[in-house]
Chain A
Amino acid sequence: MDLTIESISKDGYHLLSLSGDVDTKTAPSLLDALTGLELAALAELRIEMAQVGFLSSAGLRALVFAKQKMPHTARLVLVGTSADIADVIAKTGLTQAVTLVASHDDL
């Protein structure tokens, strides 16, 4: 399945809305979208995950890359992550790097 990425600057944060699977084939496009941002200047990056059905280690690497480039005080927020994907994030110890919320209203 392909991955669609919509990138929008919002007041106080940047939003990437993803739709599709983030796997070995599609993760490079996510990495491209991330490298296209001024990560070092972002206070908050939100990634809309509600339409993402699958995330492999290639996608996790893209998230780690983004968090490592962002300021220490910045937040990387995943919105609407499925239980299966949240489980993989927890298993790999990345819950310390991201904030998981069910919806934007939780922020």
Chain B
Amino acid sequence: MRAPYDQIRTLYRTLVVFATVAVVILAVGLVEFVYFEPPGQTTGARARIVGVFGYDSTTGNVVGTDRSTFTRNEEFAAEVSWSGLPDSLSVDARWYDAFGSMVGRLGQSTPAKLGNYSIVQVIVPPGLHHNLPGHYTFVVERLQGGMPVEVLARRIVLVES
């Protein structure tokens, strides 16, 4: 006579099926990571960030000295030197706030075409009066097929709460 079926096996198998789905989800995540962070994308080119300064929106120019911290109601911008970058590259520059939202952008274009546009200011998000506090990341990126694939320069500043 056969032993009665132990239902713990059903629970175990169900769990293993769910775990298989979990592995698929994590694999999709890995593929996503590799797609947006493709390996072997190092050109050796480096952009130069002149500095992060206060920004005068009436004149459109940077003011003061290079700084790493700002208050919430201060306007600020990064200055980039495009010289030294090969003209064959497609590049842009972006600001990201502490929540990972893009809050400023210049480009995409070639370094030669961007030559006269060197200031990238942080724009206060619509509906807000001040910048949100936290660490802001400024990156100069190389793009391929419209997608950033390499960071050519990076600078992190703090907006104090």
Q: Do A and B come from one complex?
A: no
